[in-house]
């Protein structure tokens, strides 16, 4: 990663923040984005204290102009772009019949269009370096999850977009990675949207039993270095993808039962 420039969206917490630290420790110059100015400044300070060359951009990936500005500031700060990590995302926890349509729209705007916007503006620079485009997706991009219809839809859309883009870019030597961490200890469940669009505020899962965001970041670093096309993490994640491909009817029942058992689950 020495001499490489990495742009990471949604880097104020969780996997994004850990990627900034891990890629920076590997020698990369790092640009981070986020909507919360206070947390963005705190993450930038943490990177600088570790001697990592970094630049922070207050940006919402769901806003086209913000995505364009994030890429432009990356080039102004460091003169190139080698790796784009589309990490920014939000989740939901509500039955579709109860959810406001605005919840679905917000998830699509951030998770799908945020990836599209940032990738669009980054692509000329990635082409110049024959670099990497990474999408931090989810098992929900392989297997629709009850109570997460909008989230699943946004991740399926991300998968389709990046798969098509990977195929288009094969002749140009650009690497495209779709990474599915599985359940990871992060704040995405606390900030997940309820049926009315408000933040859930707490995680329904035992975060201590999940893979840490730091572990995920190390896996992502190796996957980028090896220019892998797919990355599925955790035994549960790999099993879910396998069962959904080969035994989809069984997967339907197992997934339904699993999410019914979640604390306070909206799934009946």
Nearest Cα residue to 123 out of 149, 161, 180: 161
**Residue 225 vs residues 25, 64, 86, 131, 220: alpha-carbon distances, Å:** 14, 29, 17, 10, 9
What are 133's two structure tokens? 């485009």
Query: What tokens were used for 251?
Result: 């997967």
Q: How many CA atoms lie within 13 A of 196 on its CB side?
A: 2
> Does the CA dihedral 68-175-231-20 come out positive or negative?
negative
Q: In whole angstroms, what is the distance from residue 126 CA to residue 85 CA?
A: 12
Which residues are paired to 134 by β-bridges? 85, 177
Local structure of 198: helix, strand or coil: coil
The SS3 assignment for 23 reads helix
Instruction: Quote the CA–CA distance of 66 and 142 in Å, as a whole number.
Output: 29
The one catalytic residue in 117, 151, 156, 161 is 151
CA distance 109 to 124: 23
CB 78 within 8 Å of CB 31: yes
Residue 117 annotated to the active site: no
**Token pair for 120:** 């669009």
* Cβ atoms 193, 94 nearer than 8 A: yes
Instruction: Just list the catalytic residues.
Output: 151
């Amino acid at each position: 990663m020495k001499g490489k420039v990495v742009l990471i969206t949604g880097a104020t917490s969780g996997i994004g923040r850990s990627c900034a630290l891990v890629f920076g420790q590997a020698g990369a110059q790092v640009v981070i984005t986020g909507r919360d100015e206070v947390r963005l400044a705190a993450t930038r300070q943490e990177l600088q204290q570790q001697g990592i060359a970094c630049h922070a951009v207050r940006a919402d990936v769901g806003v086209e102009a913000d995505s364009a500005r994030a890429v432009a500031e990356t080039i102004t700060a460091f003169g190139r772009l080698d790796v784009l990590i589309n990490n920014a995302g939000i989740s939901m926890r509500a039955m579709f019949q109860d959810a406001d349509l605005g919840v679905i729209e917000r998830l699509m705007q951030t998770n799908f269009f945020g990836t599209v916007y940032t990738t669009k503006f980054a692509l000329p620079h990635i082409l110049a370096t024959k670099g990497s485009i990474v999408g931090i997706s989810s098992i929900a991009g392989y297997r629709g999850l009850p109570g997460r219809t909008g989230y699943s839809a946004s991740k399926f859309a991300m998968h389709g977009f990046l798969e098509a883009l990977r195929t288009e870019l094969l002749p140009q030597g650009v690497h495209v990675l779709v990474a599915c961490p599985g359940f990871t200890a992060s704040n995405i469940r606390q900030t997940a949207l309820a049926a009315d669009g408000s933040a859930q505020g707490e995680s329904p899962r035992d975060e201590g039993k999940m893979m840490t965001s730091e572990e995920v970041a190390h896996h992502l670093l190796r996957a980028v270095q090896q220019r892998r096309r797919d990355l599925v993490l955790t035994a549960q994640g790999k099993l879910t993808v396998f069962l959904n491909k080969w035994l989809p009817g069984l997967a339907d029942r197992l997934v339904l039962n699993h999410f019914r058992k979640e604390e306070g689950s909206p799934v009946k």
